[in-house]
Amino acid sequence: GAVVSQHPSRVICKSGTSVKIECRSLDFQATTMFWYRQFPKKSLMLMATSNEGSKATYEQGVEKDKFLINHASLTLSTLTVTSAHPEDSSFYICSAGTSGTYNEQFFGPGTRLTVL
Amino acid sequence: GQNIDQPTEMTATEGAIVQINCTYQTSGFNGLFWYQQHAGEAPTFLSYNVLDGLEEKGRFSSFLSRSKGYSYLLLKELQMKDSASYLCAVRPPNSGYALNFGKGTSLLVTP
């Protein structure tokens, strides 16, 4: 099946700093990638849809200037959490859509962000 | 919009059968997915239904009734490793790959 990787898997940063998370499709090209946030024991909350070569589409309530998304190539999307605060601590998961039997999303392993 | 409901938690015994229900109220429908997610890991695809009926894949089966806005995931011969969160997701029409997820059902399998 299609493989999606994320880097880093864990990151701890100080309040006020910025953190970049990378999402890569390893064996397929993804014109569309998705960024989710997940709180403990909660479901996935879609933050934004990342389209290669164009601006990301953000969900209501998600600050686009705080969560910068860049999808510069067909295999890489990045999420930058700018001026991070402790309330930004969460599990961030990306996924990529690929044409296939079900056109399902394949998920990356997630990034655990802790802001001190 | 999409309103997707699942039970929050379920407990079942090893070797037993468990059914996880999902109901949805949507302004359109283009398929329903079930994903499994172990704590701290990525969700993994389990099943897809777009037509009414039962889809069977080994120990897991998924059922869909579009007229009732209802699906269930059936897990047979439960194993301890089946303890995980099970996410129901509906694809809206004309949405590409986008999915709307329910809040997930946390399943605990006990000895």
pLDDT digit string, tens, across residues A29-61: 888 999 999 987 778 889 999 988 888 999 999
- Cβ atoms of B49 and B64 closer than 8 Å: yes
Nearest to A108 among B42, B87, B96 (CB): B42
Among B49, B64, B97, most A C-beta atoms within 10 A, so best to mutate, is: B97
Among A90, A104, A112, A113, most B C-beta atoms within 10 A, so best to mutate, is: A104
Nearest to A32 among B42, B85, B96 (CB): B96
* Nearest-by-CA chain B residue for A104: B97
- Can you tell me the distance from the alpha carbon of A55 to that of A39, in angstroms, rounded to the nearest whole number? 26
Q: Within chain B, which residues score under 70 in pLDDT?
A: 1-2
Interchain contact B103–A (C-beta under 8 A)? yes
Q: Quick one: pLDDT at residue A52?
A: 85
DSSP states along B44-69: EEEEEE-SSEEEEETTEEEEEETTTT
Q: Quick one: pLDDT at residue A1?
A: 67
Which residues, at least 6 apart from B9, have a Cβ–Cβ distance to it below 8 Å?
B105, B106, B107, B108
CB contact under 8 A, B97 and A34: yes
Q: Within chain A, which residues score under 70 in pLDDT?
A: 1
Using CB atoms and an 8 Å cut-off, which of residues 8-37 of chain B contact chain A? 31, 33, 35
**A chain contacts of residue B5, beta-carbon cutoff 8 Å:** none
Token digits for A96? 């990529």
- Can you tell me the distance from the alpha carbon of A97 to that of A25, in angstroms, rounded to the nearest whole number? 10
Among B60, B83, B72, B105, residue whose Cα is nearest residue B13: B83
Q: Quick one: pLDDT at residue B67?
A: 93
Using CB atoms and an 8 Å cut-off, which of residues 66-95 of chain B contact chain A? 85, 87
Among B60, B10, B62, residue whose Cα is nearest residue B31: B62
How does strand B32-37 pair with strand B84-90?
antiparallel
Q: How far is CA B26 from CA A105, B33, B48, B66, B75, in A?
A: 20, 14, 17, 11, 26
Q: Quick one: pLDDT at residue B94?
A: 78
